[in-house]
Amino acid sequence: MSAPLARSAQTKKGVRAQTYEEHVSGVRDAAMRHASSVGVFSVKHRDALAAVVRVASIYHDLGKLDDFFQDILIRNNHDNCGFNHCEAGTAELLKYKQGEAALLVYSHHIGLPEFAKEKVRVANEKNFFLRDCSQFPAPHHERTNALIEIKPAPHYERTDAFLKDYLDKHRAIFPEDDAKGIVQKFGASNLARRVALSCLVDADHGNSAQHTGDETALSGIPLRAADRLQALDNYVANLAATKTPSNEQEHERHALRQKIYTSCRERKLADNERIVSCDSPVGTGKTTAVLAHLLRVAAERNLRRIFVVLPFTTIIDQSVGVYRKALVLPGEEAEKVVAAHHHKVEFSGDDHAELRQLAQTWEAPIIVTTAVQFFETLAANKPAALRKLHQIAGSAVFVDETHAAMPAALWPQMWRWLCELADDWSCHFVLASGSLARFWELEDFVPGKNRRDIPRLVADADAQPAFDAEKKRVRLAVLKNKNGAVYVAKEDLADAVLAAPGPRLVVFNTVQSAAVFARYLREERNLGLNIEHLSTALTPFDRNRILQRIKTNLASHWKDWVLVATSCVEAGVDFSFRTGFRERAAFANLLQLAGRVNRNNEHSDAFVYDFQHNADEQLTLHPHFKTAAKIVGQLFENDNGANELGPEQCTKALQMELNQSTGEMEETAENIREAESVCDFPKVAKLCRLITTATTTVLVGDEICKRFENKDRKNFPTSQEIMLNSVQIWDNKLKDISVSEIGFGTDLLRIQSGCYDNFLGYMKGLLGVRDFQQNGSCF
């Protein structure tokens, strides 16, 4: 009798069948390695994590030993009639009260469930918690060429009838591995359950992908924090040596940055100080200063990884470029040391399992990713998203531009998770922003009983000169039209922009408004000026090219040009424009834009104008900023500190916003807390989405699309290639843009030729539709 299988052969790829023994032993060993690596950083959960992950990995595919399923695998028949191979392992573990391990087995394909639904499924006085009550074969499913006929019945009935047979086959292969060990529990920590499932899922997906040749086993590059800190010191010193200040103001700015770098690098912390803040003003070198601090902490505490969490995808590659120059050691491959993770490329559909290889796994020692990726992973319940979660334990995390990381309603729960990661998983966090509202000091976010002291990273003596200098660098003003009204038309805004000293930066709240105004300046107000446009309507590849042009322009003596953008340029970019214009949003947004104007004190005076435009069919308003914009108006009207550039004003503005809110934020925060407390994992994941409007990954470019359409998996684009050559488009806008499938259903789409260019991105196609709807013509 041949050995039972876990995976069918893939003849076209030349991949042999994988035996049950190979797969289960491989998953067990990999899952235990993950659990062991994580357990080093968690005294509280170490033993439970190791025990639960071990038992779950051994029984996760027990149901595949069913004769029916073996027939499917042997004959390479994908028609499994909806057979749930996770049910048997779940049942065996529940029998021995191994509830935590049973939950992992149950969830390793479908995701963590809602406990309340599981607990109410009781029939004939039998507990069906985590059991599959659906009918097998699935209703109305006719299996052709069946060698084994199946009488329709609930899944649990078949499992109960054949469980002994499965176990006999399993124990013939793994005689020493059973479910009768000591029961371990994670208590009230749902984060620990997510980490445990992450260990199992990463092992399971990785083993399968390595067997088919879609992934290779990664040995992991060590962080070598002390060595990289020395490399960073050298980089900063060389950078300073190449810049000669042109005036006294620039000289003072340079000296200030050096002081901030040293202050952060040498900051002494108590062992229990694992969350700190850095509110040094924009342009004072926080990026390298905070990184120096994280490397020092990582070296002292033997941490294994550094995360840099940024609010926008547009600035990732610029940051990655700096980190690779500064941190890669001799003989290393830069891409394997500093990894960039842009927007989501996670495909979990059962029909397209081959696309799971594109999920990022956060293996590199330094990960630069987005706030969406990082924080939604903490809240996730689906396997594809959770696969990488276990890599966070034992990490130093730099949440850059914290003010823009997420909607305010999500911070209370995210704060609880950050505290748990710091206290129970040995993580260290720096929350940094030049417009940092200290939300953890506000009762609406963190009740007094849960409050903890968050020290400032920069010593007060070093920070105060930076705040004093900030008051002189930029002046804020409200833009008005010729009649003195605060709402300006597109034409009035263009007049003001073109009359201001250049180069000028104009930032809108929506992708559409930025594209509309950029096109208007280029096509209708064409004065021979160079108009640049930057937003997430463009692929990362095109954004990188535009960023390079912007840097070149700013470094030249050419001043008469305009950049029109969205808030993606307000964080993490080293720009210094002469004049700025910012559509009214939150006070923090205004301060962030001020950080991209006269950044180095090159000019004795510089202005940032706050403006409100008249909404029309094409210039759109962002509903998220309605209350925040109202607060900014009040600050200007009352002369209530609107011209003060500092974190105190940001905290004050946030408190004013909360006081005038309708209670929606508090309601959402409470709903998340309640859902997490009752283990409603799907609801938590849904409520904790940073971007609530669904988006779809859409590929751009014929060459990359053809590599999918040819169905040659060996020639499939890498995850990095997909991220660089794709855009995320709101689902509610897809109907107005010509997209088509490329062979994987709606999991992966391509944009049609003529609907994208390297100036407006996908907004070229969308604005063309809008033009036709308004004028009956696309021209």
pLDDT 10s digits, 442-454? 888 888 777 889 9
**What does the block give as tokens for 745?**
């259903």
Residues 63, 87: contact at Cβ < 8 Å? yes
- Tell me the pLDDT band of 479, cut-offs 50, 70 and 90: very high
d(CA 211, CA 25): 13
**What does the block give as tokens for 33?**
């390695």
**Among candidates 677, 695, 675, 697, which has minimal Cα distance to 686?**
675
Average pLDDT rounded to a whole number, residues 587-606: 86
Model pLDDT, residue 6: 93
Who has greater pLDDT, 148 or 561? 561
767 pLDDT above the threshold of 80? yes
Sign of CA dihedral 382, 385, 389, 390: positive
- Tell me the pLDDT band of 353, cut-offs 50, 70 and 90: very low
Full DSSP string of 663-700: SHHHHHHHHHHHHHHTTBHHHHHHHT-SS-S-EEEEE-
Burial of 330: CB neighbours in 10 Å, binned 0-12, 13-18, 19+? exposed
d(CA 384, CA 107): 11
Who has greater pLDDT, 361 or 226? 226
- Tell me the pLDDT band of 350, cut-offs 50, 70 and 90: very low
Model pLDDT, residue 162: 95
d(CA 468, CA 249): 13
Who has greater pLDDT, 122 or 273? 273
| pLDDT, tens digit, 9 for 90 and up, residues 392-430 | 999 999 999 888 888 888 999 999 999 999 999 999 999
| pLDDT, tens digit, 9 for 90 and up, residues 607-632 | 999 999 977 768 888 888 888 888 88
Write the CB contacts of 523 (distance below 8 Å, at least 6 apart in sequence): none
* pLDDT, the chain, mean: 86
What letter would DSSP give residue 623? G
User: End-to-end alpha-carbon separation of the chain, Å?
Assistant: 71
636 pLDDT above the threshold of 90? no
| pLDDT, tens digit, 9 for 90 and up, residues 364-399 | 999 999 999 999 999 999 999 999 999 999 999 999
633 pLDDT above the threshold of 50? yes
Question: Helix or strand or coil: residue 322?
Answer: helix
- Most confident by average pLDDT, 145-159, 305-319, 421-435: 421-435
178 pLDDT above the threshold of 50? yes
Amino acid letter, residue 526:
N
The bridge status of strand 428-432 relative to strand 126-127 is: unpaired
**Among candidates 331, 328, 399, which has minimal Cα distance to 366?**
328
Who has greater pLDDT, 460 or 679? 679
304 pLDDT above the threshold of 60? yes
Secondary element (H or E) of residue 607? strand 607-613
Average pLDDT rounded to a whole number, residues 244-260: 77
Residues 535, 568: contact at Cβ < 8 Å? yes
Who has greater pLDDT, 33 or 481? 33
Phi, psi angle pair for 395, to nearest 5°: -115, 155
Secondary element (H or E) of residue 165? helix 155-173
Amino acid letter, residue 777:
S
Report how many helices (DSSP H) and strands (DSSP E) the chain contains, helices first. Answer: 29, 23
Write the CB contacts of 354 (distance below 8 Å, at least 6 apart in sequence): 214, 713
d(CA 580, CA 570): 11
Model pLDDT, residue 483: 85
**Among candidates 745, 748, 738, 747, which has minimal Cα distance to 772?**
738
| pLDDT, tens digit, 9 for 90 and up, residues 66-85 | 998 998 899 887 766 788 99
Chain centroid offset of residue 706 CA: 28
Model pLDDT, residue 617: 67
Phi, psi angle pair for 74, to nearest 5°: -65, -40
Average pLDDT rounded to a whole number, residues 153-169: 93
- Most confident by average pLDDT, 272-281, 469-478, 679-688, 724-733: 679-688
d(CA 306, CA 226): 13
- How big, in percent rounded to 5, are the helix, strand and coil portions of the chain? 50, 15, 35
Chain centroid offset of residue 524 CA: 38
Model pLDDT, residue 646: 61
Q: How far is CA 400 from CA 372, 397, 432, 456, in A?
A: 13, 9, 5, 15
d(CA 537, CA 540): 9
- Tell me the pLDDT band of 647, cut-offs 50, 70 and 90: low
Residue that has been written with the tokens 């050559």 in this structure? 725
Question: Helix or strand or coil: residue 550?
Answer: helix
| pLDDT, tens digit, 9 for 90 and up, residues 228-246 | 999 999 999 998 777 766 6
Who has greater pLDDT, 729 or 688? 688
**What does the block give as tokens for 425?**
């998983």
Average pLDDT rounded to a whole number, residues 548-566: 92
Write the CB contacts of 165 (distance below 8 Å, at least 6 apart in sequence): 65
Burial of 463: CB neighbours in 10 Å, binned 0-12, 13-18, 19+? buried
d(CA 779, CA 764): 12
Beta bridge partners, 750, equal 699, 740
142 pLDDT above the threshold of 60? no
Q: If phi over 0 gives left and psi between -120 and 50 gives alpha, with beta otherwise, what is residue 125?
A: left
Q: How far is CA 61 from CA 78, 135, 188, 333, in A?
A: 17, 20, 27, 37
Residue that has been written with the tokens 């992450």 in this structure? 198
Average pLDDT rounded to a whole number, residues 323-343: 88
